[in-house]
């Protein structure tokens, strides 16, 4: 993927110029400060103690991060649902060069569209099925177990969840932990140690790095998502044996993630599994962002690629994201899990996961699996995929460099220049949208980005409104890089994706533009499908909750209307009521009080049908209770915008370099051309440095 | 080897050639010199004059100016011979090192060989087979009622003494109520790390409350207890820095220093003299190597989780001041228990908050929640917000657990923690005595003292580690250890008997734990029976527990 995201030359020049100015003047000012007051600096720290921050870090913090500190750590005061309350903050002191800018909360808050939280399946807010169970569990088992699992912290809730996770993932056994980070950082050292080799993807999460370091095993890093490089490294490493002693390795563990959180890219699992199996290396798959989000029934990366989960030796995942709770799990064969129960530090020493959190996961999993007796879970997964693919297609049509695989809920938008990133973040907040921005050192210096996390809780209106705002901002911040290489790659990967999930006929018709303006609907190609949709019976508490919610948080008409509509689509009682709810919402939409006209009746009609194909190709539980034909009204609202975006895109012709890359890479998947490889080498190198230093 | 032989051969050839070359030149000159004297008759070597003439002629050739004189030889390209000889010597010497093994790069394996090697390689199984004796099913709890719990397969309630719910906050009604209210408002998870819209107002409130409680500049919360210390240590030290750590420190500390890759020294458990010795050695080394000033950290635990005794913080603080080391105290088990206001071991030993640089603690003991926190001055806390990996890269604490924490701190200050009760009818949230922590904590302390004194009177086959120290964590070791496996099995048997053989009064038994330690621990503590004394246990319960313990121990150790 990163082969396609090369910043244009001017952007590189601009970014480097700005950064070097910052550095130069920062240093100069520090020097002058020192001249004026040579002893001032020393007073800051205690005499005789080394400063807690090292000088480079300190400089970066004071002179750079200190200016833009308001873009992160923005507090919220409600559940991280589709819309949430972001607390208003005020700068009371400008960055002085010695300290970061000081910001205080003003005490008020603004309702913003949440494009930041990992609330993929929309379980973050209180849920009619989950929340009552959580409340009961807190009453029955207390707030916390106050004890590790092996002493007195194991409750019925824990054993129930572990069984359910194993059943959900279709593996023999599972073990749960109270924190996703600790799951990785304590399991890896329990499994591998001295004399073992860890092959880690260059973009793996910090928790994996921490675990790998703790283990004492030799760590080698392979190029991001490159099975060929993995193969080469594996062959060479096995042939060479351990460094210096040249004894054969005890075991080799290949660690990959299902969806990479900063790239939105799904792991190339099929090839990785094939390579690892061939060389008898063990596979550790971190599904933190992919569990619940990828695959037709939310079973993660394995389902997405059609890989047998029993081929994966260790399946790790978290409950923080899709299931709206906290903690993580390890699943796999029974002997492995039994071993971890005896030797995994987080199981032996850490406090057990809080019973309430455990129950939340159990309940959410039951919904996703359809065990709650409705098709709500399946609808959520499908809504998530629809939302994600629609948004990604629209972003690409706008000419933005939006990365990530199809179906993946994470989509970074490349801003390249840190200044633009900050401008975008502030401007977005002004327009009541919350989005995450990421820059150096979490990404390479020139690959700063802004990240959208899509949720099943978002309605099509939410997204349309957000995309409209983004469209304006793309012009304002000059973000349309018109990366034709990326576009071609995404077009090809869409075809591939549709081919795997919907068949050849759908693939032939699939285009990004069609997806963006609604003229292409993959579900219409499903065998026996037509436009069959399932509205589900069950969630009778749904309406109550949203009404209560609306009342409590003082939603303006537009927000609550939308929510209601989305709820109705996802979990509404039956079609007549659902339709009524929709009608209500579209009526309310135009009369919103917050000055944001983002719900138009026409647009509402587009999003209304949430399609759940009954013949999804994958097993639901026997939970579907009613099937209702829903009329699809397509392409009215979207097409105008699509045209506009295309026109805007046409204006920005990109320099010829990009198409050269396409030629190398065949416009599809990873390229093996030297140019591209050279580039990713640099990136891999940067990450490797981070890993070993 | 063949390569080496070829090199030798070439070298020998060179040498031979050079020699030949030299001989040819010399003989050519000799011939030329001889040719000039052909016309003259050969001197008569028998006469004296003849000898003298021969000598003269000889000297004319060999002496200065003569054609066989070395100077002539050198002037007429003879130096080439010497140079050639020198080159030969050099080449020969250079080749002398050829017996060294050359790196692979010079002689790469062929693809076929690599394939063969890959095929031959057999990995170890991912995990070793676990012996049957180590496969332990933990007791499953089905309900909680004050200091009692219900366990799976048992009808009667049992005493919970395997959980460090020191102040009874986890099962307290008010704590449950505020948690439920928070779940209604915020949902369960926070769905994001602190930096990315995962900061919820209650997190900030809890941090403020903690800072206020400790009287420090700032506080930071983590979402899990083992990740707290394990994140703080790598945030404040790296490979250039020094960590001096008590040898009995728990796994979280070990994980922390392993990841930080700092220079690590350990000192003997609670031995301040040894600490000073280690520091002196380090300082001498620093001085000798003229290293620049680095960050130096002493790490101890307020109450050692795996032993249950206290660190002599007052004396350690003196050392720390003397040598200008930073002091980090893991107050996990001491927070909310020790000290007049519950600030932990530091307060117990009369240390002011500013005397300790980093105080870290778990929120899953006295606080009755989950997670961990760290308090200290603003620099240290703010530094962690950017460098603490468990803080930056992990989802934040579920909001309802933060709310439970806030509730505990407020009530500890107001003295309305669930008061100790009698045997039954717990007076949950007794608000009558609002004399601050000053009333609650002495009660807890007296219970700890009473129970410890009781056990010190003797338990068959077991001995209490630490004796009468004021610590709610009790570790009972086997008095006459046999082997780790045998002792663990015996202790497990004791725990099992305590749980299953009822102790009367409607109480089905006592739930206590036998801690297990991972194979990756750097130093495994001896097997022990772990018992927690909590505020909810009345005198009657403590008596029952001691009785059950003695009975079970007597049966197992057959004294």
Number of H helices, E strands in chain B: 18, 14
Q: What are phi and psi of A482, to 5 degrees?
A: 55, 50
Q: In chain A, positions 39-58, which contact chain B (CB-CB < 8 Å)?
A: 45, 48-50, 52-54, 57
pLDDT at B35: 57
B409 lies in some domain: no
Domain end among A68, A87, A107: A68
- In angstroms, the CA B268 to CA A363 distance is 49
B217 lies in some domain: yes
What domain count does chain A have?
4
> Is A350's Cβ below 8 Å from some Cβ in B?
yes
Residue B515: CATH number of its domain: 3.90.1150.10
Please report where in the chains the tokens 């002539």 appear, as a residue. B72
Mean pLDDT of chain B: 86
Mean pLDDT of successive 10-residue stretches along chain A, which has 693 residues: 75 89 90 80 67 85 87 92 93 79 89 94 91 94 92 93 94 94 93 94 92 92 92 92 91 94 92 94 94 91 92 94 93 94 92 94 94 91 93 92 92 90 92 91 86 93 94 90 87 92 88 88 70 38 39 38 41 39 39 36 36 34 34 36 36 34 32 36 37 38
Token readout for B270 is 């609670």
- In angstroms, the CA A220 to CA A332 distance is 24
> Is A60's Cβ below 8 Å from some Cβ in B?
no
Task: Give residues with Cβ within 8 angstroms of A606, minimum separation 6.
Answer: A460, A464, A518, A633, A634, A635, A636, A637, A638
Q: Is the pLDDT of residue B39 over 60?
A: no
> Is A242's Cβ below 8 Å from some Cβ in B?
no
| Cβ-based contacts of A191 with chain B (< 8 Å) | 126-127
Is the interface score ipTM higher than 0.90? no
Q: In chain B, positions 321-380, which contact chain A (CB-CB < 8 Å)?
A: 324, 326, 362, 364-365, 368-370, 379-380
Q: Do A240 and B364 touch (CB under 8 A)?
A: no
| Whether residue B293 is found in the same domain as residue B383 | yes
Letter string b/e over residues B505-534, b meaning 16 or more CB atoms within 10 A of that residue's CB = eebbbbbbbbbbbbebbeeebebbbbbbbb
Please report where in the chains the tokens 């933060």 appear, as a residue. B402
CB atoms within 10 A of CB B366: 34
| Whether residue B352 is found in the same domain as residue B468 | no
| Whether residue B351 is found in the same domain as residue B479 | no
Residue A649 structural domain: 373-408+477-654
> Is A79's Cβ below 8 Å from some Cβ in B?
yes
| Whether residue A389 is found in the same domain as residue A538 | yes
Percent of chain B with pLDDT strictly greater than 90: 57
Q: In chain B, positions 522-541, which contact chain A (CB-CB < 8 Å)?
A: 530
What domain count does chain B have?
3
| Whether residue B233 is found in the same domain as residue B145 | no
Q: In chain A, positions 150-169, which contact chain B (CB-CB < 8 Å)?
A: 150-156, 158-159
| Whether residue B224 is found in the same domain as residue B355 | yes
| Whether residue B449 is found in the same domain as residue B550 | yes
| Whether residue B248 is found in the same domain as residue B327 | yes
Q: Do B515 and A434 touch (CB under 8 A)?
A: no
Number of H helices, E strands in chain A: 26, 15
| Whether residue A542 is found in the same domain as residue A623 | yes
B41 lies in some domain: yes
pLDDT at A504: 87
B162 lies in some domain: yes
The half-sphere exposure of A581 on its side-chain side, counting CA atoms within 13 A, is 27
Q: In chain A, positions 213-232, which contact chain B (CB-CB < 8 Å)?
A: 213-214, 216
> Which 8-state DSSP code applies to residue A4?
G
pLDDT at B98: 59
A486 lies in some domain: yes
> Is A428's Cβ below 8 Å from some Cβ in B?
no
Alpha carbon separation from B384 to A64, A213, A262 (Å, rounded): 18, 20, 22
- Using the Cα atoms of residue B205, residue B209, residue B212 and residue B217 in order, give the sign of their dihedral: negative
Mutate to test the interface with A, among B168, B188, B402 (most CBs of A within 10 A): B188
B9 lies in some domain: yes
Question: Per residue in B117-165, pLDDT tens?
Answer: 888 999 999 999 888 888 888 899 999 988 899 998 888 899 999 999 9
Q: In chain B, positions 261-290, which contact chain A (CB-CB < 8 Å)?
A: 261
A531 lies in some domain: yes
Torsion of CA A495, A497, A503, A508, to 10 degrees: -10
Q: Do B183 and A205 touch (CB under 8 A)?
A: no
Among candidates A144, A155, A338 on the partner chain, residue whose Cβ is nearest the Cβ of B370 = A144
> Is A514's Cβ below 8 Å from some Cβ in B?
no
- In angstroms, the CA B158 to CA B148 distance is 5
Q: List the single residue in A with minimal CA-CA distance to B532.
A: A147
- In angstroms, the CA A621 to CA A373 distance is 8
| Whether residue A636 is found in the same domain as residue A688 | no
- In angstroms, the CA B168 to CA A262 distance is 42
For residue A159, the distance in angstroms to the closest alpha carbon of chain B comes to 8
Among candidates A213, A235, A344 on the partner chain, residue whose Cβ is nearest the Cβ of B114 = A235
> Is B42's Cβ below 8 Å from some Cβ in A?
no
| Whether residue A661 is found in the same domain as residue A650 | no
Task: Give the model's confidence band at B33: pLDDT under 50 very low, under 70 low, under 90 confident, else very high.
Answer: low
B124 lies in some domain: no
Q: Do B189 and A324 touch (CB under 8 A)?
A: yes
Q: Do B255 and A185 touch (CB under 8 A)?
A: yes
pLDDT at A62: 84
| Whether residue A595 is found in the same domain as residue A667 | no
Token readout for B457 is 């009177």
Question: Per residue in B317-369, pLDDT tens?
Answer: 999 999 999 999 999 999 999 998 899 999 999 998 888 999 999 999 999 99
| Whether residue B379 is found in the same domain as residue B444 | no
Among candidates B118, B191, B226 on the partner chain, residue whose Cβ is nearest the Cβ of A350 = B226
Cα A104–chain centre separation: 29
> Is B184's Cβ below 8 Å from some Cβ in A?
yes
pLDDT at A300: 92
> Is B518's Cβ below 8 Å from some Cβ in A?
yes
| Whether residue A546 is found in the same domain as residue A517 | yes
Among candidates A80, A185, A335 on the partner chain, residue whose Cβ is nearest the Cβ of B190 = A80
State the Cα angle at B67 between B65 and B69, rounded to 5°.
Answer: 65
| Cβ-based contacts of A354 with chain B (< 8 Å) | 369-370, 398, 401
pLDDT at B467: 84
| Whether residue A293 is found in the same domain as residue A163 | yes
Q: In chain A, positions 99-118, which contact chain B (CB-CB < 8 Å)?
A: 100, 105, 114, 116-118
| Whether residue B508 is found in the same domain as residue B445 | yes
For residue A240, the distance in angstroms to the closest alpha carbon of chain B comes to 9
Q: Is the pLDDT of residue B433 over 50?
A: no
A441 lies in some domain: no
| Whether residue B377 is found in the same domain as residue B242 | yes
A87 lies in some domain: no
For residue B419, the distance in angstroms to the closest alpha carbon of chain A comes to 17
Q: In chain A, positions 566-585, which contact chain B (CB-CB < 8 Å)?
A: none
A345 lies in some domain: yes
- In angstroms, the CA A392 to CA A508 distance is 19
A218 lies in some domain: yes
Domain end among A338, A369, A400: A369
A128 lies in some domain: no
- In angstroms, the CA A413 to CA A394 distance is 12
B232 lies in some domain: yes
Residue B272 structural domain: 201-391
Q: Do A151 and B163 touch (CB under 8 A)?
A: yes
Q: Do B183 and A118 touch (CB under 8 A)?
A: no
Q: Do A75 and B380 touch (CB under 8 A)?
A: no
Q: Do B197 and A436 touch (CB under 8 A)?
A: yes
| Whether residue B158 is found in the same domain as residue B209 | no
> Is A84's Cβ below 8 Å from some Cβ in B?
yes
> Is A328's Cβ below 8 Å from some Cβ in B?
no
A377 lies in some domain: yes
- Among candidates B233, B246, B171, B149, which has minimal Cα distance to B417? B171
| Whether residue B214 is found in the same domain as residue B141 | no
- In angstroms, the CA A257 to CA A246 distance is 30
More confident: A502 or B504: A502
Q: Do A74 and B197 touch (CB under 8 A)?
A: yes
Domain end among B77, B102, B127: B102
| Whether residue A496 is found in the same domain as residue A594 | yes
pLDDT at B363: 94
| Whether residue A388 is found in the same domain as residue A294 | no
* Pair type for strands B507-511 and B157-160: parallel
| Cβ-based contacts of B386 with chain A (< 8 Å) | 61, 65
| Whether residue A581 is found in the same domain as residue A596 | yes
| Whether residue A171 is found in the same domain as residue A271 | yes
Among candidates B126, B191, B389 on the partner chain, residue whose Cβ is nearest the Cβ of A251 = B126
Mutate to test the interface with A, among B128, B149, B187 (most CBs of A within 10 A): B187
| Cβ-based contacts of A189 with chain B (< 8 Å) | 255, 520
| Cβ-based contacts of A131 with chain B (< 8 Å) | 183-184, 187
| Whether residue A333 is found in the same domain as residue A394 | no
Give the A:B interface size as CB pairs under 8 Å. 357
Q: Do B126 and A78 touch (CB under 8 A)?
A: no
Task: Give the model's confidence band at B78: pLDDT under 50 very low, under 70 low, under 90 confident, else very high.
Answer: confident
Q: Do B138 and A150 touch (CB under 8 A)?
A: yes
- In angstroms, the CA A77 to CA B452 distance is 46
């Amino acid at each position: 993927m990163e082969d396609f995201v090369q910043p244009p030359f001017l952007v590189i020049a601009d970014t480097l110029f700005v950064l070097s100015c910052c550095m130069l003047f920062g240093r100069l000012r520090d020097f002058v400060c020192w001249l004026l007051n040579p002893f001032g600096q020393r007073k800051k720290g205690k005499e005789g103690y080394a400063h807690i921050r090292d000088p480079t870090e300190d400089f970066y913090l004071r002179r750079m991060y200190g200016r833009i500190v308001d873009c992160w750590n923005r507090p919220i005061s409600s559940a991280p649902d589709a819309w949430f309350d972001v607390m208003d903050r005020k700068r009371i002191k400008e960055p002085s060069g010695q300290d970061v800018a000081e910001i205080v909360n003003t005490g008020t808050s603004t309702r913003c569209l949440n494009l930041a939280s990992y609330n993929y399946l929309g379980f973050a807010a209180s849920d009619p099925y989950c929340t009552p169970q959580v409340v009961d569990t807190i009453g029955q088992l207390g707030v916390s177990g106050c004890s590790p699992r092996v002493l007195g912290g194991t409750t019925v809730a824990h054993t129930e969840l572990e069984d359910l996770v194993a059943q959900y993932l279709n593996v023999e056994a599972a073990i749960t932990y109270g924190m996703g980070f600790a799951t990785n950082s304590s399991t890896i050292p329990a499994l591998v140690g001295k004399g073992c080799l860890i092959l880690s993807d260059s973009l793996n999460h910090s928790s994996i790095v921490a675990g790998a370091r703790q283990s004492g095993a030799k760590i080698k890093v392979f190029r991001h998502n490159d099975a060929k490089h993995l193969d080469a490294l594996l062959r060479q490493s096995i042939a060479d044996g351990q460094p210096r002693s040249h004894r054969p390795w005890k075991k080799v563990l290949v660690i990959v993630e299902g969806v990479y959180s900063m790239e939105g890219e799904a792991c190339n699992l099929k090839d990785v599994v094939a390579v690892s199996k061939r060389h008898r290396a063990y596979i550790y798959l971190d599904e933190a962002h992919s569990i619940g989000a990828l695959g037709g029934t939310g079973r993660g990366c394995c389902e997405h690629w059609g890989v047998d989960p029993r081929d994966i030796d260790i399946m790790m995942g978290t409950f923080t994201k899709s299931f709206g709770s906290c903690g993580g799990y390890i699943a796999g064969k029974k002997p492995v899990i039994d071993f971890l129960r005896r030797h995994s530090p987080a199981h032996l020493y850490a406090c057990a996961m809080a019973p309430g959190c455990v129950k939340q996961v159990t309940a959410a999993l039951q919904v996703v699996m359809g065990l709650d007796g409705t098709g709500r879970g399946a609808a959520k997964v499908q809504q998530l995929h629809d939302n994600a693919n629609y948004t990604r297609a629209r972003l690409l049509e706008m000419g933005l460099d939006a990365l990530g695989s199809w179906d993946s809920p994470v989509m970074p938008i490349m801003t390249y220049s840190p200044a633009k990133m900050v401008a975008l973040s502030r401007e977005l907040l002004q327009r009541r949208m919350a989005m995450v921005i990421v820059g150096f050192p979490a990404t390479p210096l020139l690959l700063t980005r802004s990240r959208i996390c899509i949720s099943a809780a978002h309605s099509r209106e939410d997204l349309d409104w957000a995309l409209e705002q983004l469209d304006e901002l793309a012009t304002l911040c000059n973000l349309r890089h018109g990366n034709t290489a990326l576009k071609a790659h995404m077009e090809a990967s869409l075809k591939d994706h549709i081919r795997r999930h919907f068949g050849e006929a759908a693939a032939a018709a699939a285009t990004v533009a069609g997806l963006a303006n609604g003229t292409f609907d993959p579900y219409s190609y499903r065998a026996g499908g037509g436009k069959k949709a399932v509205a589900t019976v069950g969630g009778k508490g749904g309406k109550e909750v949203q009404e209560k919610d609306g009342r409590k948080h003082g939603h303006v008409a537009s927000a609550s209307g939308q929510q209601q509509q989305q709820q109705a689509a996802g979990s509404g009682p039956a079609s007549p009521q659902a339709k009524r709810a929709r009608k209500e919402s579209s009526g309310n939409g135009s009369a919103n009080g917050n000055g944001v006209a983002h719900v138009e009746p026409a647009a509402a009609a587009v999003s209304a049908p949430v399609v759940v194909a009954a013949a999804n190709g994958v097993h639901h539980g026997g939970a579907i209770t009613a099937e209702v034909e829903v009329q699809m009204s397509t392409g009215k609202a979207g097409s105008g915008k699509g045209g506009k975006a295309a026109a805007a895109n046409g204006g920005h012709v990109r320099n010829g370099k990009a198409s050269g890359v396409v030629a190398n890479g065949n416009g599809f998947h990873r390229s093996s051309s030297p140019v591209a490889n050279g580039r990713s080498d640099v990136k891999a190198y940067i990450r490797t440095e981070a890993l070993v230093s | 080897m063949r390569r080496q032989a070829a090199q030798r051969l070439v070298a020998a050839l060179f040498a031979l050639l050079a020699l030949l070359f030299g001989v040819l030149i010399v003989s050519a000159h000799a011939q030329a010199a001889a040719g000039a004297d052909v016309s003259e008759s050969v001197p008569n070597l028998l006469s004296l004059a003849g000898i003298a003439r021969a000598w003269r002629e000889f000297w004319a050739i060999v002496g200065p100016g003569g054609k066989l004189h070395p100077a002539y030889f050198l002037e007429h390209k003879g130096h080439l011979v010497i140079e050639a000889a020198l080159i030969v010597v050099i080449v020969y010497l250079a080749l002398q090192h050829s017996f060294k093994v050359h790196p692979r790069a010079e002689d790469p394996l062929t693809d076929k060989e690599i394939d063969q090697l890959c095929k031959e390689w057999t990995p170890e199984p991912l995990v070793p087979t676990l012996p049957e004796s180590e496969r332990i099913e933990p007791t499953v709890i089905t309900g909680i009622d004050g200091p009692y719990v219900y366990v799976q397969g048992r009808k009667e309630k049992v005493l919970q003494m395997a959980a460090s719910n020191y102040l009874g906050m986890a099962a307290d009604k008010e704590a449950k109520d505020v948690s439920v209210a928070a779940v209604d408002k915020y949902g369960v998870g926070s769905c994001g790390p602190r930096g990315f819209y995962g900061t919820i107002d209650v997190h900030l409130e809890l941090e403020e409350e903690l800072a206020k409680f400790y009287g420090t500049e700032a506080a930071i919360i983590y979402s899990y207890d083992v990740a707290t210390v394990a994140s703080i240590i790598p945030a404040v030290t790296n490979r250039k820095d020094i960590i001096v750590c008590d040898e009995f420190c728990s796994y979280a500390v070990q994980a922390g220093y392993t990841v930080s890759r700092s220079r690590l020294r350990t000192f003997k458990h609670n031995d301040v003299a040894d600490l000073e010795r280690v520091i002196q050695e380090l300082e001498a080394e620093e001085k000798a190597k003229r290293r620049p000033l680095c960050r130096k950290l002493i790490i101890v635990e307020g109450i050692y989780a795996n032993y249950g005794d206290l660190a002599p913080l007052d004396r350690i603080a003196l050392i720390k001041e003397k040598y200008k080391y930073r002091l980090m105290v893991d107050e996990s088990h001491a927070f909310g228990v020790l000290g007049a206001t519950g600030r932990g071991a530091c307060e117990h030993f009369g240390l002011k908050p500013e005397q300790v640089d980093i105080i870290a603690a778990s929120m899953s003991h006295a606080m009755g929640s989950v997670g961990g926190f760290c308090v200290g001055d603003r620099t240290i806390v703010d530094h962690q917000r950017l460098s603490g990996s468990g803080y930056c890269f992990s989802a934040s604490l579920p909001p309802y657990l933060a709310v439970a924490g806030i509730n505990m701190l407020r009530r500890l200050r107001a003295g309305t923690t669930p008061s100790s009760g009698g045997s039954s009818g717990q007076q949950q949230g007794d608000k009558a005595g609002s004399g601050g922590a000053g009333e609650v904590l002495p009660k807890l302390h007296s219970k700890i003292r009473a129970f410890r004194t009781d056990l010190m009177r003797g338990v068959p086959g077991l001995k209490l580690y630490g004796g009468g120290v004021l610590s709610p964590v009790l570790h009972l070791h086997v008095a006459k250890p046999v082997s780790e496996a045998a002792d663990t099995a015996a202790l497990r048997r004791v725990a099992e008997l305590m749980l299953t053989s009822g102790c009367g009064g409607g109480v089905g038994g006592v739930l206590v734990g036998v801690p297990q330690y991972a194979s990756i621990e750097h130093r495994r503590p001896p097997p022990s029976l772990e018992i927690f004394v909590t505020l909810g246990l009345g005198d009657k319960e403590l008596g029952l527990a001691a009785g059950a313990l003695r009975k079970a121990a007597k049966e197992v150790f057959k004294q």
